[in-house]
Structure 1
């Protein structure tokens, strides 16, 4: 238990340091978020099955891929926005020193993409991107893609292009084991909930509160740049619960034995690789890679078993996305 406490303390210190180092900008003012980044349930009226709005697979190189391949010397790398503090998704090996290796399910997928496009799984420049900066980083050309537990939804496909889904999850409540909270229900009355700025979790809470599906006394004003910051707030007693993707919540519960998932997932969501709207050749290529990633013995299942099986109770069928459909024509 001493080792566990020490590990949790180190995680807390690291997360607080990340929070302080986060770039300036709107933090706890969700009302100021661009509509395109606040993906709520109401957005479903604007499109049908956003996870299917992607292009068919192709091995062909196009303008986007050629530009990456033509980078010279040390710059000939795939530039990818990732997380570096989501346990078992994208995080630094705590035993790896100051420049510890990035590891996790998302990181495995990035290496697979780099190997296919550039012939070298390590030809990657990782950039740590806060939750609310994923879309701006793509639009500004700071990254070629984002692989960061990013939910495909109707608002986001207006701003970026997505691959086919590579993971299935849903929003869930994380709270202390001793808390009276039972799930996403009336037990959230008089409770303060933390979410990441620009996340689908916040948009769901906001939409449900406006529609009366969430108790009026539930507080949803605490938002943070990165999801792990919510776990820190919970540990410090500044909030009563966290709402995030169940896959991420399970990893956070694995980091802190005093918290647990409360109730079942109350949405169905899919993670996708996000790219520029005009990067059609990249979207098609990534979709081709995902087909192989799901079928190969050392692909999706192997990565799930290595990183997520323990935290998600070992049942991959609940997380594996459906067979992809490619309904986007251009």
Structure 2
């Protein structure tokens, strides 16, 4: 009887193990391995394909768009400066920029400070306002909300690779030009894309609210464009293979290359991008004050020192852009 019971137990155990093995084997055999594509950055959306290609802005509809107000004269009785006085009374200059544009404005991971060529422009303005370049408060903006931030007086100035155009001058004021960038194309090394002519039918990343996006739609209307809030998002989707190229100003693309040595800038310029400091349109005294700072740094070497520190990978330092005044 005892041997009989042991035999029954052994049979049950073997049956149980066999059933488990069969179940497990069946599970493995029926399982399928799938690979999920990395998610797109927050806010990334395909540009509409059913919209008409934007026509180039008419030339000359505002004269020279880079012409600005002349600085205050150094001698004589200072004119009223209500905006400048209010900023000085506040004790800090509020600057709109982006902390994801390496070389132009970015947060140094080692120190936590915000640095770059555009930041240097803002620091020089603060130096002339307060005698202290650190009297700054930063507000982070996407390219698409720069104009709104100025119109609603959320910032005093925008120092964020902002191209001066006639269309934008209807909404905000600009300083004189402080840099001339050129729109080009960024790809992974070894790509068959060698310039703008190769972008047709390719997926290209561009930031919303930029002249780069508008020109890309004009030059390569058959490109499949992915729009994102920040240029740093374009780096992510290019590295993940979700786009074939990025098109933007060479200053911005150089910043992306500085973060990834497997990328390269290719092709000729698609067009010039004259940068200006954005200012609320009604604040003419601040426009003149900022232009005075820009005139100083053209002459005292500050502009060249900043270029050599941040943008030398674009080539030897050019002369700073000459100021054009409308009065």
Same fold (TM over 0.5): yes
1:242-281 alignment, distance < 5 Å:
242-281=246-285
Confirm or deny that 1:199 pairs with 2:210.
yes
Q: Which of 95, 120, 131 is the matching residue for 1:80? A: 95
1:136-155 alignment, distance < 5 Å:
136-155=148-167
In the other structure, the counterpart of 1:62 is: 81
Check 1:40–1:291 CA distance in 2 against 1; reply closer, same or farther (3 A cut): farther
Q: In structure 2, what is the Cα distance between the partners aligned to 1:198 and 1:225? A: 9
Superimposed CA distance per residue, residues 164-216 of structure 1 (whole angstroms, 9 cap, x where no aligned partner)? 0111111101111121101011x2122111100000011112233xxxxx263
Q: Which of 275, 294, 313 is the matching residue for 2:298? A: 294
Q: In structure 1, what is the Cα distance between the partners aligned to 2:224 and 2:92? A: 44
Check 1:236–1:322 CA distance in 2 against 1; reply closer, same or farther (3 A cut): same
Considering only CA atoms, is the larger Rg found in Structure 1 or Structure 2? 2
Q: Which of 234, 238, 246 is the matching residue for 2:238? A: 234
Q: Which of 219, 226, 232 is the matching residue for 2:224? A: 219
In the other structure, the counterpart of 1:48 is: 63
1:68-107 alignment, distance < 5 Å:
68-71=87-90, 76-96=91-111, 100-107=112-119
Return the TM-score normalized by structure 1.
Answer: 0.80
Q: In structure 2, what is the Cα distance between the partners aligned to 1:40 and 1:267? A: 15
In the other structure, the counterpart of 2:6 is: none
Superimposed CA distance per residue, residues 278-301 of structure 1 (whole angstroms, 9 cap, x where no aligned partner)? 11000001001001111113x101
Check 1:140–1:30 CA distance in 2 against 1; reply closer, same or farther (3 A cut): farther
Is the 1:188–1:215 Cα contact (8 Å) retained in structure 2?
no
Superimposed CA distance per residue, residues 78-114 of structure 1 (whole angstroms, 9 cap, x where no aligned partner)? 1000111111111111112xxx001111111111101
Q: In structure 2, what is the Cα distance between the partners aligned to 1:120 and 1:43? A: 42
In the other structure, the counterpart of 1:35 is: none
Check 1:268–1:40 CA distance in 2 against 1; reply closer, same or farther (3 A cut): farther
Q: In structure 1, what is the Cα distance between the partners aligned to 2:237 and 2:58? A: 29
Could you tell me which runs of 5 or more consecutive residues in structure 1 were left unpaired when the two chains were aligned: 1-15, 32-37, 209-213
In the other structure, the counterpart of 1:325 is: 324
Q: In structure 1, what is the Cα distance between the partners aligned to 2:154 and 2:216? A: 30
SS in 1 for 2:153: coil
Check 1:148–1:40 CA distance in 2 against 1; reply closer, same or farther (3 A cut): farther
Shift of 1:41: 3.0
1:166-181 alignment, distance < 5 Å:
166-181=178-193
Number of aligned positions between the proteins? 280
Superimposed CA distance per residue, residues 230-278 of structure 1 (whole angstroms, 9 cap, x where no aligned partner)? 1111111111110100111112112111110111212012111000001
Q: In structure 1, what is the Cα distance between the partners aligned to 2:54 and 2:169? A: 10
In the other structure, the counterpart of 1:8 is: none
Could you tell me which runs of 5 or more consecutive residues in structure 2 were left unpaired when the two chains were aligned: 1-38
Return the TM-score normalized by structure 2.
Answer: 0.80
In the other structure, the counterpart of 1:108 is: 120
